[in-house]
Amino acid sequence: MTTWLITGAATGLGRALAEEVLARGDNAIITGHDASALSDLASRYPSTAVAQDLDVTRADQRKAALTTADQFGGIDVLVNNAAVDSVGAIEEQTDEDIRRQFEVNVFGALDLTRAVLPGMRARRRGTIVNVSSMDGIASLPGNGIYSATKFALEGLTEALWQELQPIGLRALLVEPGSFRTGIEARTHASGEPIADYAATGGAFRGMLGSLTPEMFPGDPAHAATVIYDTVQSDPDRHWLVLGTDAQRRIRAKLDAFGAEFASGQEIGASTDFPDSGPAVL
């Protein structure tokens, strides 16, 4: 039986994944800022579910979650799903909001990953699932700080799977598009608007008050099924792009990058020393 630790499980994709995992018969430590929001789920699966408070930025709560997992024999799958977002142009957003996003979205995920890896290495089994976003590949004006945190998560996960594969462990990036997770109610505008950004970051900021669930096409329950099946049966996959909107935006980014890479290839090659040999990396 597989044991999962899922962060940010009280709502949205995290909640859907917790329900999927438990319905499939696995063990799960399901966590959130307030575990009481998960008590109903834990009560339905009293022998396989433990609901626990976990602010991923707090070392004591991270340690407590790992201690809880010991009753199941350790963590087989860590899902770093907890994240926060705030909207505004990069110049507009407050220092507090910027640092909070990096603390939760990057350092919280990183610290929890580093905490579970010794046990996974000792058992020679384990998977790290880092929930990124389409914004982790293709950024938008007005959401640059959130995108920066997800770009960071992408970079560390890409290195991580190369470090883990030779010892029988794995890491997976999940890149969802717009899913009906209630994020529109949890996202706030940061800082004071600056008129020069009205057409760019301001447009994104202006959308907040008019967002409705129907504007988010992705179904968290379907995503949870795909994530579960990928973890269990597709060990060679590194990226999992979920949602047609994510596919469109990421494809457009890849096409634009490919075109600029090709057009700049000759001038880029001209910057090497004439007598340089093959690159070391």
CA–CA distance, 129 with 75 (Å, rounded to integer): 12
Q: Confirm whether 273 is domain-assigned.
A: no
Q: Confirm whether 79 is domain-assigned.
A: yes
Instruction: Answer with the residue of higher pLDDT: 207 or 280.
Output: 207
CA–CA distance, 172 with 240 (Å, rounded to integer): 8
Q: Confirm whether 281 is domain-assigned.
A: no
Nearby residues of 208 by Cβ (< 8 Å), 6 or more positions away: 87, 184, 187, 188, 189
Over residues 230-242, the pLDDT tens digits come to 999 989 999 999 9
Checking if the pLDDT of 97 tops 80, the result is yes
Q: Confirm whether 68 is domain-assigned.
A: yes
pLDDT bucket at 14, cuts 50 / 70 / 90? very high
According to DSSP, the β-strands at 188-189 and 127-131 are unpaired
CA–CA distance, 172 with 157 (Å, rounded to integer): 7
Checking if the pLDDT of 119 tops 90, the result is yes
pLDDT bucket at 276, cuts 50 / 70 / 90? confident
Mean pLDDT calculated for residue range 56-84:
96
At residue 208, the pLDDT reads 75
Checking if the pLDDT of 184 tops 80, the result is no
CA–CA distance, 136 with 247 (Å, rounded to integer): 13
Catalytic residues: 132, 146, 150
At residue 278, the pLDDT reads 75
Checking if the pLDDT of 179 tops 80, the result is no
Using a pLDDT cut of 90, give the percent of the chain over it. 85
Q: Confirm whether 253 is domain-assigned.
A: yes
User: In what side-by-side order are the strands of the sheet with 239-242?
Assistant: 49-53, 27-32, 3-6, 77-80, 127-131, 170-176, 239-242
Range of the structural domain that residue 211 is part of: 3-265
The count of domains in the chain is: 1
Over residues 29-46, the pLDDT tens digits come to 999 999 999 999 999 999
Q: How many CB atoms lie within 10 A of CB 267?
A: 8
> Are 52 and 31 a contacting pair, CB within 8 Å?
yes
Mean pLDDT calculated for residue range 87-107:
97
pLDDT bucket at 213, cuts 50 / 70 / 90? low
> Are 78 and 2 a contacting pair, CB within 8 Å?
no
pLDDT bucket at 91, cuts 50 / 70 / 90? very high
Mean pLDDT calculated for residue range 212-236:
88
**52 bridge partner residues:** 31
At residue 211, the pLDDT reads 66
At residue 280, the pLDDT reads 66
Here the tokens at position 10 are 């009280």
Q: Confirm whether 92 is domain-assigned.
A: yes
**179 bridge partner residues:** 218
At residue 201, the pLDDT reads 87
> Are 32 and 8 a contacting pair, CB within 8 Å?
yes
Q: Confirm whether 274 is domain-assigned.
A: no
CB hemisphere CA count around 32 (13 angstroms): 19
State the alpha helices, DSSP H only, in the chain.
12-23, 39-44, 59-69, 95-102, 109-123, 144-164, 183-186, 201-207, 220-233, 244-263, 265-269
CA–CA distance, 33 with 281 (Å, rounded to integer): 42
Which amino acid does the sequence have at 182? G
> Are 240 and 230 a contacting pair, CB within 8 Å?
yes
Mean pLDDT calculated for residue range 253-269:
96
Domain of 242, CATH number, reads: 3.40.50.720
CA–CA distance, 32 with 202 (Å, rounded to integer): 31
Q: Confirm whether 192 is domain-assigned.
A: yes
**242 bridge partner residues:** 176
pTM: 0.94
According to DSSP, the β-strands at 188-189 and 49-53 are unpaired
What is the chain's mean pLDDT, rounded? 93
pLDDT bucket at 136, cuts 50 / 70 / 90? very high
Checking if the pLDDT of 122 tops 80, the result is yes
At residue 169, the pLDDT reads 97
